[in-house]
């Protein structure tokens, strides 16, 4: 008997749904014209949650490539008792995600005003597809597998599409990704193409892509497409594991601060849920503070939370304030615009959950501009393993908060570096040499690719009918039945 349910986060609704159903918003609220997100909730008294976090250490010895060992090998599923929404271990889709490093950045710490030994960098770029998204994708693919999905889709600023494409190809599902034309870094585009996803370049930005993919996955259920964006509550269950690994790397002690970039606001939402549950379970005695850092050119949470004072208010947050802020942005034709393309998002879908996380973690929100992001990205490259621009916003934001006296120089600070340095090599080369590789490439002569595995992106206008036609209408090729599909029997998916 599954102890997990899906539950509406609106305190005036709290409707519940089985985990065997597929929703990305509460159907009951939708009937009243309200858009409310769902959570995965557990009846913890009936789960096998451990009494202490060091319980998980025995798995360091058991990891292998068979049965439970496959799960112990994953940096997400070795914490499976803290996300027990699956019916049986065989439901789990894992590719060995979450085996990431935390660095004690002693050389960098003084540059941002912290005592050496107090700055930690959590390198989520070391995931198989090069970003933190794999933590969430393994959980969402597990749910997709539970409900028998064959086609999965997302809108993306690049990393979600790379991760989705990798998981889709390895689990025999058809991947469809929507990206804003000219909006994503080449490293990320190259991954979606290489992993064989149907790659639609929409004439529009991320926010337009997300509206379209929701239309095809949610409004057009007949197309049978499972939505993988972070409005999918199962994604966030997997992303909780980033925090479990942070605690693990600190020998199960709680840092003073967690600093994370904010785009669609799924990651910070997952962190808030992780700590709230750990506290409820008595597995930690205090909750760290949260700092969400946005780019100045894509800063709705900063504007609403820090400037206008929007608060969670036990779930009854001021939705009129949000609506009028977005209306003003629309009237002024303000679109998200930042060098940190991963977080170039103007209408974050997880805004409500982010407000809740800020409440649970006594959080703050700051913004940093593009030149500052690039300076701190270079510092992470100089004194660490490097990261992509959006990730460096954390280090820049941490320094700002130390200067403000919000973070004390003796406090411990964990900055989440969400994406690998090689995701956006163009930004790095331009910073160091002044050469804009992207414009050079745009002018280069093109030939029609003829390789057997060539997978060209498809340019599509921001138009629903054109999009449905581009994905083959109701007949998207199902890779799980094509002759080129991997030998599923040989894969670590539902092997036991």
- Tell me whether residue 263 or residue 288 sits nearer to ligand F0G (CB atom): 263
The verdict on 127 binding ligand F0G (CB under 6 A) reads: no
Among 201, 419, 427, 470, binds ligand F0G (CB under 6 A): 419
Binding mask 77-116 for ligand F0G (x = CB under 6 A): ----------------------------------------
Cβ neighbours of 475 (radius 10 Å): 8
Among 214, 418, 426, 479, binds ligand F0G (CB under 6 A): 418
Find where tokens 């998002």 sit: 345
Task: Please give the structure tokens belonging to residue 39.
Answer: 């959570």
- Contact between 290 and 397 under an 8 Å Cβ cutoff? The reply is no
Of 182, 221, 230, the closest CA to residue 202 belongs to 182
The verdict on 265 binding ligand F0G (CB under 6 A) reads: yes
Among 74, 122, 131, 296, binds ligand F0G (CB under 6 A): 131
The verdict on 421 binding ligand F0G (CB under 6 A) reads: no
Cα dist. 27→37, 38, 311, 348 in Å?
A: 10, 10, 25, 20
- Reduced to 3 states, what is the DSSP secondary structure of residue 422? helix
Supply the minimum distance, in Å, between the C-beta of residue 1 and ligand F0G: 32
Binding mask 323-342 for ligand F0G (x = CB under 6 A): -------------------x
Which region, judged by CB under 6 A, interacts with ligand F0G, from 263-271, 303-311, 432-440, 469-477? 263-271
Integer Cα distance of 184 and 94 in angstroms = 26
Of 429, 459, 483, the closest CA to residue 180 belongs to 459
Integer Cα distance of 132 and 136 in angstroms = 8
Task: Please give the structure tokens belonging to residue 343.
Answer: 């977080």
- Reduced to 3 states, what is the DSSP secondary structure of residue 124? helix
Binding mask 211-250 for ligand F0G (x = CB under 6 A): -------------------x--------------------
Q: Binding-site residue total for ligand F0G (CB under 6 A)?
A: 22
Name the strands in the sheet holding 38-42, side by side, starting at the edge strand that comes first in the sequence. 16-18, 4-8, 38-42
Segment 137 to 156, residues that bind ligand F0G, using CB under 6 A: 156
The verdict on 263 binding ligand F0G (CB under 6 A) reads: yes
Segment 370 to 389, residues that bind ligand F0G, using CB under 6 A: 388
Count, residues in the chain: 496
The verdict on 294 binding ligand F0G (CB under 6 A) reads: no
- Contact between 299 and 274 under an 8 Å Cβ cutoff? The reply is no
- Tell me whether residue 3 or residue 181 sits nearer to ligand F0G (CB atom): 181
Phi-psi region of 342 (alpha: psi -120 to 50; beta: other; left: phi over 0): alpha
- Tell me whether residue 5 or residue 301 sits nearer to ligand F0G (CB atom): 301
Supply the minimum distance, in Å, between the C-beta of residue 229 and ligand F0G: 8
Supply the minimum distance, in Å, between the C-beta of residue 330 and ligand F0G: 20
Among 84, 204, 266, 297, binds ligand F0G (CB under 6 A): 266
* Cβ burial 264-278 (10 Å sphere, 16+ → b, else e): bbbbbbbbbbbbbbb
Supply the minimum distance, in Å, between the C-beta of residue 392 and ligand F0G: 10
Which residues in this chain contact ligand F0G in the complex, by CB under 6 A? 131, 133, 156-160, 230, 261-267, 342-343, 388, 390-391, 418-419
């Amino acid at each position: 008997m599954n102890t997990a349910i899906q539950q509406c986060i609106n305190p005036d609704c709290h409707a519940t749904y089985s985990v065997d159903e597929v929703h990305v918003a509460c159907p009951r609220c939708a009937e009243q014209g309200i858009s409310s997100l769902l959570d995965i909730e557990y009846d913890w008294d009936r789960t096998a949650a451990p009494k202490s976090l060091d319980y998980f250490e025995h798995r360091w010895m058991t990891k292998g490539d068979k049965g439970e060992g496959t799960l112990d090998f994953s940096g997400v599923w070795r914490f499976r008792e803290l996300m027990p929404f699956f019916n049986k271990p065989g439901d789990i889709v894992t590719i060995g995600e979450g085996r990431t490093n935390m660095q004690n950045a002693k050389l960098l710490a003084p540059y941002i005003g912290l005592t050496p030994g107090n700055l930690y960098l959590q390198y989520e770029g070391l995931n198989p597809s090069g970003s933190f998204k794999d933590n969430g994708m393994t959980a969402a693919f597990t749910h997709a597998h539970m409900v028998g999905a064959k086609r999965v889709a997302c809108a993306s600023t690049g990393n979600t599409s790379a991760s989705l494409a990798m998981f889709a190809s390895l689990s025999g599902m058809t991947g469809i990704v929507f990206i804003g034309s000219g909006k994503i870094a080449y490293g990320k585009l190259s991954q979606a193409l290489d992993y064989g996803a149907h790659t639609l370049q929409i004439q529009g930005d991320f926010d337009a892509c997300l509206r379209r993919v929701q239309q095809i996955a949610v409004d057009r259920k007949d197309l049978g497409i499972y939505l993988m964006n972070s409005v999918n509550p199962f994604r966030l269950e997997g992303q909780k594991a980033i925090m479990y690994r942070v605690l693990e790397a600190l020998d199960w002690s709680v840092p003073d601060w967690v600093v994370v970039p904010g785009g669609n606001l799924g990651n910070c939402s997952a962190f808030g849920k992780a700590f709230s549950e750990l506290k409820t379970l008595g597995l930690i005695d205090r909750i760290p503070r949260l700092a969400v850092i946005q780019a100045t050119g894509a800063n709705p949470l900063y504007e609403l939370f820090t400037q206008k004072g929007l608060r969670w208010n036990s779930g009854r947050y001021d939705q009129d304030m949000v609506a009028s802020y977005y209306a003003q942005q629309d009237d002024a034709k303000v679109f998200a615009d930042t060098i940190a393309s991963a977080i170039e998002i103007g209408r974050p879908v997880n805004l409500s959950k982010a407000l809740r996380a800020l409440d649970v973690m006594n959080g703050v929100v700051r913004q940093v501009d593009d030149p500052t992001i690039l300076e701190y990205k270079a510092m992470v490259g100089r004194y660490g393993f490097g990261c992509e621009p959006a990730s460096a916003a954390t280090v820049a934001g941490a320094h700002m908060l130390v200067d403000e006296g919000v973070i004390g120089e003796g406090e411990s600070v964990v900055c989440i570096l969400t994406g690998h340095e090689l995701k956006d090599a163009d930004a790095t080369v331009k910073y160091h040499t002044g050469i804009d590789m992207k414009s050079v490439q745009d002018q280069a002569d093109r030939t029609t690719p003829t390789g057997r595995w060539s997978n060209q992106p498809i340019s599509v206008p921001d138009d629903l009918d054109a999009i449905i036609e581009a994905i083959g209408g109701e007949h998207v090729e199902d890779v799980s039945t094509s002759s080129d599909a991997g030998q599923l029997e040989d894969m670590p998916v539902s092997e036991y």
